[in-house]
Amino acid sequence: MTSANAKFSIIILAAGQGSRMKSDVPKVLHEIGGKPLLEHVINTANTLVPQQIYVVYGHGGSKVKDRLVHLPVQWVEQAQQLGTGHAVEQAIRLIPNDHIVMVLYGDVPLVSEITLRALAAASVTALGVVTCEVAVPFGYGRIVRNAQGRVLQVVEEKDATDEQRAIREINVGIIAAPAGLLRAWLAALDNKNANGEYYLTDVIAKAVAQSIEVKTITAATLYEILGVNTKAQLAELEREYQWLQAQKLMAQGVTLRDPRRIDIRGEVRVGKDVVIDVNVVLEGRVELGDRTYIAPNNLLRDVVVANDVNIKPNCVIEEARIGAGCEIGPFARIRPATVLDEKVHIGNFVELKKTEVGPRSKINHLSYVGDTTIGSGVNVGAGSITCNYDGANKFRTIIGDNAFIGSDTKLIAPVEIGAGATIGAGSTITHNAPANELTLSRVKQVTVKGWKRPVKNKPE
């Protein structure tokens, strides 16, 4: 990707403690958009198709490795945290001299593929450095240039003069260079600075001293080069990340009632004319068919939604498939392994779990239906439930096509309701109900004459 024959490796620094996060969770495992900061960086790095990605870990290393074991990286331990230069040195010993090496940071999650590709292209025979001009450069290393505009060095905030602190071009810390050159520069670093650390940024002065060109790449946006050191910064980048996801959805034709009030925590695929109202959270893999409408305050996680579905307010839908023309909610909960066929109605305060519902069936009010297969054209009345759990095991209920389940019915699984059967309201069904017949179970209605309601005792 850097040139026709260049080989390419990436080092990601993820060893910092992150003490300002005030958390037992390693900094790089704090999340944006439902993924750890480090995972965002690794995913972007993978788009460059390097020969290898090396992650340098230290603080909380086992936690970091265990959480991200599924990612294709090689882990390198930095047992002592002696600075960024020292961290890179731990990994570069594994990289051949003929590679181009790029250094990224596990707590800078929004760095873009566009910026990194430009950096890689600039560093085949030079030292490439990502910079950015900011209005308030406090805390960042400053890019010091000569009168001709050539880069001379990077000076850290603590080591800068007043004149240097006035410079607004900052060093982002992301660099790329031929491995052989970078290895030699790292070996020549010293820790004679305010922090007593080996700064990676000092390699810039080493390159200048050897007349190696330093090429700067300007980051497209400030947010892509911002790191996370506090919970406030984490929240700031979360909002920026969500704004970027909202822009992607709108570019695909989605109508967002308020783009600042949606949270994307995974991958979303959309059809045409999708409308999403405020305070919707989409997690995992979500597919939304044509003309899907999602009302306010809904959570969808790992859901496939077909065309013309109306999801009313305040629903939770997880690991389910929703057929075309369905109406769901308000206040419905659809739990994993549930499949709704076309034009199913699931109403308010209905909960489904491991249930298949056939076309045009309705469960409209205050019901729990679990471990159940429901045919087409079925009506489940208000307050009806399937009693699928005996305290140790789960059992299945089967309801045939066009059955009618009266309100406040309890179906004690395992049980089968035949096609066209009617179950009288208030029944408790413990045996199979035959097709096309009325089945009910009720205690004989009795009136107790002269009975009086209890009254409160008068105080003594």
The pLDDT of residue 455 is 85
The lowest-confidence range among 162-166, 220-224, 412-416 is 220-224
Q: Is the CB of residue 424 less than 8 Å from the CB of residue 407?
A: no
Q: Please identify which residue in the block is written with the tokens 């013309």.
A: 308
DSSP string of 243-309, one letter each residue: HHHHHHHHHTT-EES-TTSEEEEEEEEE-TT-EE-SSEEEEEEEEE-TT-EE-SS-EEEEEEE-TT-
- Please list, in sequence order, all residues whose beta carbon lies within 8 angstroms of the beta carbon of residue 408, skipping any fewer than 6 positions away: 381, 382, 383, 384, 425, 426
For helices 37-46 and 113-122, the axis angle rounded to 10 degrees is 50
Instruction: Give dist(CA 140, CA 263) in Å, integer.
Output: 31
Instruction: Give dist(CA 355, CA 374) in Å, integer.
Output: 8
Beta strands at 379-380 and 404-405: parallel, antiparallel or unpaired: parallel
Confidence of residue 305 (pLDDT cuts 50, 70, 90): very high
Q: Is the CB of residue 248 less than 8 Å from the CB of residue 267?
A: no
The pLDDT of residue 396 is 97
74 pairs with which residues across the strands?
Answer: 54
Other C-beta atoms closer than 10 Å to the C-beta of 80 total: 11
The single residue of 86, 99, 345, 365 carrying the catalytic annotation is: 365
Closest Cα partner for 367 from 356, 378, 377, 381? 381
Q: What is the pLDDT of residues 246-286, one digit of tens each?
A: 999 999 999 999 999 999 999 999 999 999 999 999 999 99
The pLDDT of residue 453 is 75
Segment of 215-229, 286-300, 432-446 carrying the highest mean pLDDT: 286-300
Q: Is the CB of residue 270 less than 8 Å from the CB of residue 254?
A: yes
Confidence of residue 140 (pLDDT cuts 50, 70, 90): confident
Instruction: Give dist(CA 430, CA 419) in Å, integer.
Output: 17
Q: pLDDT exceeding 90 applies to what percent of the chain?
A: 81
- For the whole model, what pTM was predicted? 0.88
DSSP string of 145-208, one letter each residue: E-TTS-EEEEE-GGG--HHHHT--EEEEEEEEEEHHHHHHHHHT----STT----GGGHHHHHH
Per-residue pLDDT at 6 exceeds 80 = no
- Please list, in sequence order, all residues whose beta carbon lies within 8 angstroms of the beta carbon of residue 233, skipping any fewer than 6 positions away: 226, 227
Per-residue pLDDT at 1 exceeds 60 = no
Quote the tokens at residue 403.
Answer: 């059955």
The pLDDT of residue 376 is 98
The pLDDT of residue 28 is 94
CA distances 114 to 32, 229, 396, Å, are 20, 24, 53
Per-residue pLDDT at 46 exceeds 80 = yes
For the chain, domains (ranges, CATH) are 7-225 (3.90.550.10), 231-439 (2.160.10.10)
Is 30 labeled as catalytic in the residue annotation?
no
Q: Is the CB of residue 331 less than 8 Å from the CB of residue 349?
A: yes
The pLDDT of residue 5 is 60
Beta strands at 310-311 and 214-218: parallel, antiparallel or unpaired: unpaired
Q: What is the pLDDT of residues 71-108, one digit of tens each?
A: 999 999 998 889 999 999 999 999 999 999 999 999 99
